[in-house]
Amino acid sequence: MMASNGNVLVIDDDPNRAQGLREIVESAGFRVEVVTDVTNSHFSLAGNSDLDVILCELDLHGVSWGEARRTLREMDIQVPAIMLSDRAEASQIMTALRLGASDFFVRPVEDADALIKSIERCVRQRQLRRELDESRRRLESANTELRGAVKVLEQDQQAGRQVQLSMLPATPLVLDHYSFSHTVIPSLFLSGDFTDYFTVGTRHVAFFMADVSGHGSSSAFATVLLKNLFARKRSDFLRKNDDTVLSPVAMLHRANLELLRLDVGKFATMVVGLLDMERNTLRYSIAGHLPHPVLVSGDGARYLPGGGSAVGLMEEAEYQEHEVALPERFTVALFSDGILEILPRDDLIGKEAYLLEAFDREAESPEAMVSRLGLHEVDVAPDDIAALFITKRG
């Protein structure tokens, strides 16, 4: 038995004429259904219809195509139609076109091949429309799943953000005349920037600023690793008399080793420091971090010197330790490099100069500095921004 080339509906109130058309179409391999009483028949012309094409007689008795056209316009007609008529008059052709017919044939159909080819074109059109509708349904389903996945991801990111915020130190931390405070503005839910500070014994405060490469979850996980490292070494100092946490260089070497062992392709620029509150001195080490820490005092603002490779890049990285005798009143400001993205200059030298100009006066409150730099006005940062302020009011 020949496979059907498509489903054709013949609409004609003349049974003999309909049967003749049926024989022509069936001989070409199409499955044909005939309707002779259009007013009492029910068939679907919408997108889910099994029909591929309609062969419809234009000269149906009792049918006003003018009225039918208004009804058809309101229906979801997806099945292409070929109209047939005994008359080849302009009015007949125009009626067929207004009804949206794909083709028009005059009876008797002398060129059966032309009719079959027209039917085949309509069947292809119908099949393409079905494929398009199916593709649209699959796309809509995929979009629905994607929106659901994105929502879950956003919820996870927000939950992760809350966890990351909970890891940040209390701000401000006030110890006699010294005060530590911070702010972190993520470009995404999760930040690759992190800062921490904590007391070590009775006279020291250790702190660090880290800017992990990239954004999102993997970078945030690296900040968790660094937080854990410093917490462990603080615990080792208290329980094992291990003084690694009192050495900025030693802590950078440990951070370098742990990021390399993590083996996720992440590196971080860092500043690690140790404030001695008895001597009012600062020991620090810089690992590829820009901008450098800014020391603001009555003498103005200046960058603290230093250099070294970022942690997590190479096993044989070298770091230098610096010590600064601090004035009686000062502010040390540390920023991640995201601050440079929002400063109103075109190049790095200009941006670093602008940052010094913003602080080139007697040390102010961290809130005033944040306001002067416009950090409170940043809604969506192009890069993560972290700021750490260490102040002393003698």
Using CA atoms, how far apart are residues 375 and 183, in angstroms rounded to an integer? 9
Question: Which is more confident, 132 or 280?
Answer: 280
User: From the CB of residue 296, how many other CB atoms can be counted at a distance below 10 Å?
Assistant: 25
pTM score, whole prediction:
0.64
**pLDDT for position 2:** 43
On the question of a cis peptide bond just before residue 172, with omega within 30 degrees of 0, the verdict is yes
**pLDDT for position 382:** 63
In contact, 180 and 207? CB cutoff 8 Å: yes
What confidence tier does 1 reach under pLDDT thresholds 50, 70, 90? Answer: very low
pLDDT tens-digit readout, 75-109: 556 788 898 998 888 888 888 888 888 899 998 88
Partners of 103 in the β-ladder: 82
What percent of the chain has pLDDT above 70? 87
pLDDT tens-digit readout, 181-234: 998 877 666 678 889 999 999 999 999 999 998 777 778 888 889 999 999 999
Chain-centroid distance of CA 312 in Å reads 27
pLDDT tens-digit readout, 302-340: 999 998 899 999 998 999 999 999 999 999 999 998 888
**Cross-sheet strand order for the sheet of 193-200:** 193-200, 204-212, 268-276, 281-287, 322-325
**Which two tokens mark 28?**
């070409």
Cα pseudo-dihedral 97, 101, 106, 109, rounded to 10:
160
